[in-house]
């Protein structure tokens, strides 16, 4: 892979004209979130490196994952690779799971260059800023959080590296949101049953593949590090935490080490969340930070999330689609591709060949019973195998010409839902919608229609025109 860590990835983005630098000093508010909002809106949707923030020592990187170009470069592909091609390239890399990590000594781990254990003040290291106006405070929104199963601390597969929102609440105190269905909540429950603190490491400024994997719904006993290695085609470098025996990325920019205070909950939130609305204030656990290690001149990479699409929508796009695709494909080999890019899989489009009448509905029902699809997916559209589910014009064609509204539209009332979906009522319950936009096959029957043909030599001319267009750009 062309990069080993965030720094090298930023250098790659810059070389590919996918990174811009802001050299003038900016204010933490409102400039940093305004930059995060703006970056995905311009055509190349570059990452932004903000060198100087008033009152702070260190720099900020924003929108690192926030475009299909950056996403392709993260996967080691040319920056103009189409979404569908990226999907299949990701599927191929995924098949290499597991590629186990390697461990390096603390002396060789860049993240150990500087170590702070006294007079900790998070603001000294992190240029913290308000992400959305009515957030309850300053958030670390793009960290990888590592924890272990307290009953099985040597089991690396049960070690978890996930992304959970972190609210700064003191110089050495933060709040964390482990939702009950998150893996870290399983670790916390086991620790709290014994009234023990749970050691965690909050890793910031990571290899972009690590952030991609830490927001992917993998199974409890699957290691995010092994997946990240598979995506890179080479092992991730880990090192040991200073305390708590955790395995942390050796090349991250900054690692905050601490422990979740057992059996206490304090007010946290609100925070602007991925569906484009605030999630309310709740009582949640807090984390005491006892050690910070970081690289020299550490970069604070953070996530702005706003009205979709912003960076998080790119970050949660194909890594939501692929596990669903693989789970469906196991039982329904006719499935061609899954596009679950809409609001973390609340909207899903599946393309499949139909084995018999009603097959599209069966595929949709299987999707709605997968671990992720059950709570998240609300609107499921099934299209024929020749429709590209990533091409919304083609999907609209299927909806307008294939759907018999009386037969092909189904609702399932009062099914499991996602509490962060503002339309789930009560929070955590919603009604599912299935739209089967496939062409009926026997024993189902449709009026006779014949599809238009693609002219002979189309592929030749497509490539010919693409090449002319490309050479005119260069």
Partner 1 sequence: MICPRCDSEKVNLLTKSPVGGAWEVYICETCCFSWRSTEDDDIKDPNKYDKRFKIDKDKISELDQIPPIPALLEEKN
Name the site residues for partner 1 (rule: CB under 8 A): 27-29, 54-57, 121, 123-124, 130, 133-134, 136-138, 167-171, 175, 177-180, 185, 188-189, 192-195, 263, 265-268, 270, 278, 281-284
For the CB of residue 151, give the shortest distance to partner 1 in the complex, in Å: 11
Tokens 């983005």 correspond to: 13
State residue 175 phi and psi, 5-degree precision.
Answer: -100, 155
For the CB of residue 189, give the shortest distance to partner 1 in the complex, in Å: 5
Catalytic residue (choose from 224, 242, 257, 273): 273
Order of strands, sheet of 299-301, starting from the edge strand that comes earlier in the sequence:
19-22, 47-50, 59-62, 299-301
Which of 54/100 has CB closer to partner 1? 54
CA gap 20, 40 in Å, rounded: 12
Kind of pairing, strands 282-284 and 247-249? Answer: unpaired
Segment holding 473, helix H or strand E: helix 458-473
Burial of 356 (C-beta count, 10 Å sphere; 0-12/13-18/19+): exposed
Helix axes 318-331, 83-94, angle to 10 degrees: 60
For the CB of residue 120, give the shortest distance to partner 1 in the complex, in Å: 11
Three-state SS for 247?
strand
CA gap 471, 460 in Å, rounded: 17
Which of 182/240 has CB closer to partner 1? 182
Which of 199/389 has CB closer to partner 1? 199
Which of 133/470 has CB closer to partner 1? 133
Buried residues in 46-67 as b, exposed as e (16+ CB within 10 A): bbbbbebbeebebbbbbbbbbb
For the CB of residue 47, give the shortest distance to partner 1 in the complex, in Å: 24
Bridge partner residues of 198 (DSSP): 260
> Could you write out the DSSP letters of every residue in 46-95?
-EEEE--BTT-SSEEEE-TT-SHHHHHHHTTS-TT--HHHHHHHHHHHHT
Measuring CA to CA, how many Å separate 137 from each of 48, 63, 165, 257, 399?
23, 21, 12, 21, 44
Which of 281/396 has CB closer to partner 1? 281
For the CB of residue 273, give the shortest distance to partner 1 in the complex, in Å: 13
Q: In degrees, to the nearest 5, what angle opens at C-alpha 240 toward C-alphas 319 and 231?
A: 25
273 among known catalytic residues: yes
Which of 150/199 has CB closer to partner 1? 150
CA gap 134, 142 in Å, rounded: 19
For the CB of residue 350, give the shortest distance to partner 1 in the complex, in Å: 32
Order of strands, sheet of 102-103, starting from the edge strand that comes earlier in the sequence:
102-103, 237-240, 247-249
For the CB of residue 63, give the shortest distance to partner 1 in the complex, in Å: 23
Which of 234/264 has CB closer to partner 1? 264
Which of 177/319 has CB closer to partner 1? 177
CA gap 320, 373 in Å, rounded: 10
Segment holding 359, helix H or strand E: helix 359-367
What region does 238 belong to: left with phi over 0, alpha with psi -120 to 50, or beta?
beta
For the CB of residue 112, give the shortest distance to partner 1 in the complex, in Å: 22
Check if the beta carbon of residue 287 is closer than 8 Å to that of residue 260.
yes
Buried residues in 296-327 as b, exposed as e (16+ CB within 10 A): eebbbbbbbbbeebbbbbbbbbbbbbbbbbeb
Which of 184/213 has CB closer to partner 1? 184
For the CB of residue 180, give the shortest distance to partner 1 in the complex, in Å: 5
Just list the catalytic residues: 273
């Amino acid at each position: 892979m062309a990069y080993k860590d965030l720094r090298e990835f930023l250098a790659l983005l810059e070389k590919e004209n996918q990174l811009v630098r802001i050299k003038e000093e900016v204010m933490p508010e409102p400039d940093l979130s305004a930059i995060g909002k703006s970056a995905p809106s311009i055509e190349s949707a570059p990452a932004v490196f903000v060198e100087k923030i008033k009152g702070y020592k260190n720099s900020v990187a924003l929108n690192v994952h926030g475009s299909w170009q950056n996403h392709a470069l993260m996967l080691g592909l040319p920056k103009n690779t189409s979404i569908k091609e990226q999907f299949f390239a990701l599927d191929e890399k995924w098949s290499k799971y597991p590629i186990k990590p390697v461990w390096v000594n603390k002396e060789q781990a860049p993240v150990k260059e500087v170590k702070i254990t006294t007079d900790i003040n998070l603001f000294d290291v992190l240029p913290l800023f308000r992400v959305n106006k009515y957030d309850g405070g300053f958030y670390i929104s793009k960290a990888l959080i590592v924890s272990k199963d307290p009953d099985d601390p040597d089991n690396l597969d049960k070690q978890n590296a996930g992304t959970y929102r972190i609210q700064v609440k003191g110089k050495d105190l933060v709040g964390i949101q482990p939702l009950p269905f998150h893996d870290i909540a399983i670790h916390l429950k086991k620790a709290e049953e014994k009234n023990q603190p749970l050691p965690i490491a909050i890793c910031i400024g990571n290899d972009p593949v690590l952030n991609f994997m830490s927001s992917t719904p993998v199974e409890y006993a699957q290691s995010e590090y092994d997946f990240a290695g598979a995506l890179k085609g080479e092992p991730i470098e880990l090192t040991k935490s200073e305390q708590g025996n955790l395995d942390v990325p050796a090349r991250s920019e900054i690692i905050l080490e601490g422990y979740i205070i057992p059996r206490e909950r304090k007010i946290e939130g609100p925070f602007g969340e991925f569906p484009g609305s605030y999630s309310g204030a709740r009582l949640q656990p807090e984390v005491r930070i006892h050690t910070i290690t970081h690289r020299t001149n550490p970069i604070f990479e953070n996530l702005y999330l706003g009205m979709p699409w912003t960076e998080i929508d790119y970050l949660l796009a194909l890594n939501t689609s692929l596990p669903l695709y693989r789970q469906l494909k196991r039982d329904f080999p006719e499935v061609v591709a899954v596009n679950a890019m809409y609001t973390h899989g609340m909207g899903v489009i599946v393309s499949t060949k139909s084995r018999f009448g009603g097959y599209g509905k069966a595929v949709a029902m299987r999707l709605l019973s997968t671990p992720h699809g059950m709570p998240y997916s609300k609107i499921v559209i099934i299209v024929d195998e020749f429709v590209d589910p990533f091409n919304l014009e083609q999907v609209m064609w299927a909806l307008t010409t294939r759907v018999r509204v009386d037969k092909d539209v189904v609702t399932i009332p009062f099914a499991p839902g996602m509490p962060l979906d503002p339309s789930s009522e009560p929070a955590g319950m919603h009604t599912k919608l299935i739209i089967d936009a496939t062409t009926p096959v026997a024993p189902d029957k449709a009026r006779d229609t014949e599809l238009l043909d693609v002219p002979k030599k189309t592929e030749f001319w497509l490539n010919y025109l693409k090449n002319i267009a490309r050479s005119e750009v260069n």
